Structure 1
Amino acid sequence: MYNYEELSINEIFDLLRKWRDNNERKSNEIMSLSERIMDNLDSQPNEKYLILEQLIMADLDCNYPMLAAKWIEMLDADFPDSLRVMKFKSMWYEAHDNYEQAFGILNKIIKADEINAPPALKRCIAITKAMGMTNEAITKLVEYLNQFMSDMEAWQELSELYLQVQEYSRAAFCIEELILHQPHNHLFHQRLADIRYTMGGVENMELAKTYYCQTLKLNPNNMRALLGLILAANNLLGHYKSSGSAKRKEVWKLCQWAQSEVTKRQREAQGSNDSALTSAMLALTIGD
């Protein structure tokens, strides 16, 4: 932790540089240093405009729109018609819920530079979502992914939007695309298992069981996947009525294993709040 009041101006500029390199916003920290930064900004001619951009983002994040407007005007005076400055203008309008003006500027950016259009397209989608137009946001995001199919953040966002409108099969498809890109990411397998469990039915419950197992194979410490596996297994036991069936025996063994694993983790975390939470969840989910 830094004591910002004791930092020299050179240390402050070094810190700003570090935050830029690490892609960290640190808006509250920058706001606390903003007065000293502006008083000494001319001492950093090579980084002046990068620092101004950091100040703009901090002002917008911390709800100081008039300060942000002042820095945007400074950039606009030195770089008229700059697409980068136009991006900050659109963000300023967006912060004021003036979505029509923000859309207009973003559309100009997209038309002016189609190669670097993805960030502007994604801002348009974000604004549409903020306006509560979920179906329109889905349509725009599908169109975006038709052009930029490797954008994992977009696939993840589309999945969340589909879940909001209860299009579970389409949400599952989006997560499957993410798994194709990152097959070793246990969170994607867990998410797909959750969706399949929510969809219900024997086939989806079997798939949920499979993906929960894969999640635990990739990350044995994923407690949510363990609890999900117990839920899915108990659900399947209700479908496989015949006590002698091979599938019921398999699911029963899996359920017993998952319960023993949860009990073991519970003992390891005895006395913690996590243990109490786990006990409560098990009491609700596990039948005799």
Structure 2
Amino acid sequence: MMDVASALQRLANYRTKNSRASREIFESGVIVFRNDALHKLGDDSWQFLESLALAAVDVGRVDVAEACLKHLSAKFPESPRVQCLEGILKEATEDPEVALAFYQRLLEADPSSLAVWKRQISVLRRLGRTETAVDELSKLVDTFYTDVEAWLELADLYISLYQYTSALQALSHVLLLAPQNPFYVLQAAETAYTAEDIPLAIRFFLMTIDMIGDDEVSPPPTGITFELSAARLETDPRLATSSVLRQLAREVIETAQASQHGAESQASLIWLRR
């Protein structure tokens, strides 16, 4: 049986790593909670209760989540953050329509509550009201333009509706806000390929290689979509906007094939460093 000191140490490690290991957080946190050791956390006790409540919801321990929420509500009775946590608990225990109505009431009182707005959109999507979720999320990013997570969610919603052009527009904002993240560029490449904009797809793929090509931990992407894009662009000149792009596509295929056989040819990637 884990003692309180060990549980506190584990929780500290999870906080340092910003981990969402719900099962582990619950198992350690419930020991602290049930042994009345909250005082040992000092000012961090309230954040601990929030984390424990979320972990408890994730693992299906509603009783523990409700107990945490009771403490938080007593300390912060009008806190939007605590109200949002109450909504998450309703999502786990009641009909989605009940949770949706709860969030709508909160937004009527405070239309600028970002956390509540996002939860409302999540419930709308869960209910299959995707177009309404798109409308709400479009309003949200107009208000909170720099929220990368919201733009990514909007792109994903558009993709679920097969509106790939709109998804690419949303991703273009993501790339403006987070231009150094190669995984966002790769997502744009995959989306462009699905939208059959092959020249744009290959450009995004090449940008991804340029960003992580020298990273030994994260090798350049050579997935099937990438190679299909390059092959299609190279074999169908009508899709290429220039002979240079076709040449780069050919070099990409050759490099991918060489890497499959363990070759370490760098000549075909000289253009990346120009």
* TM-score normalised by structure 2 residue count: 0.80
Does 1:256 find its partner at 2:254?
no
1:109 is displaced (CA, Å) by: 3.5
Deviations 1:176-222 (CA, angstroms, capped at 9, x unpaired): 1111122232222222222222222xxx2222222222221112222
Mapped to 1, the partners of 2:241 and 2:31 lie a distance apart of 72
Correspondences of 1:93-242 after superposition (within 5 Å)? 93-114=90-111, 117-200=113-196, 204-220=197-213, 221-224=219-222, 227-240=224-237
Per the alignment, residue 9 of structure 1 pairs with 4
Deviation at 1:250, TM superposition (A): 5.8
- State the partner residue of 2:68: 71
The residue type equivalent to 1:107 in the other structure is Q
Q: Alpha-carbon deviation of 1:91?
A: 0.8
Aligned counterpart in structure 2 of residue 91 of structure 1, from 88, 92, 104: 88
Structure 2: which amino acid aligns with 1:100?
E
Q: Is the 8 A contact 1:213 1:229 kept in 2?
A: no
Cα distance in 2 between the residues matched to 1:234 and 1:34: 53
Please say if residues 234 and 249 of structure 2, whose CA atoms lie closer than 8 Å, have aligned partners that are also in contact: no
CA distance in 2, matches of 1:247, 1:76: 62
Q: CA deviation at 1:21?
A: 4.8
Question: Separation in 2 of the partners of 1:107 and 1:33?
Answer: 35
- Contact 1:59 1:68 survives alignment (8 Å): yes
CA displacement at 1:236 relative to structure 2: 3.1
Offset at residue 60 of structure 1 (A) = 0.2
Letter aligned with residue 62 of structure 1: V
Correspondence list, 1:3-82, <5 A: 5=1, 8-37=3-32, 38-41=34-37, 43-44=39-40, 46=42, 47-82=44-79
- 1:238: Cα distance to partner? 4.4
Residue type of the partner of 1:259?
I
CA distance in 2, matches of 1:80, 1:249: 63
Alpha-carbon contact 1:106-1:121 (below 8 Å) kept: yes
Structure 2 Cα separation of the partners of residues 265 and 91 of structure 1: 47
SS at match of 2:18: coil
Structure 1: give runs of 5+ residues left out of the alignment: 270-288
Give 1:73 shift. 2.6
Greater C-alpha radius of gyration: 1
Provide closer, same or farther for how the CA distance between residues 228 and 83 of structure 1 changes in structure 2, counting only shifts above 3 A: closer
Q: Indicate the percent of aligned positions where both proteins have the same amino acid.
A: 23
What residue in structure 2 maps to residue 286 of structure 1? none
Aligned length: 255
| SS state at 2:261 partner | helix
Q: Tell me the residue number matched to 1:279.
A: none
Q: CA deviation at 1:97?
A: 4.5
Structure 2 distance, partners of 1:188, 1:91, is 28
Which consecutive residues of structure 2, in runs of 5 or more, have no partner in the other structure? 214-218, 264-274
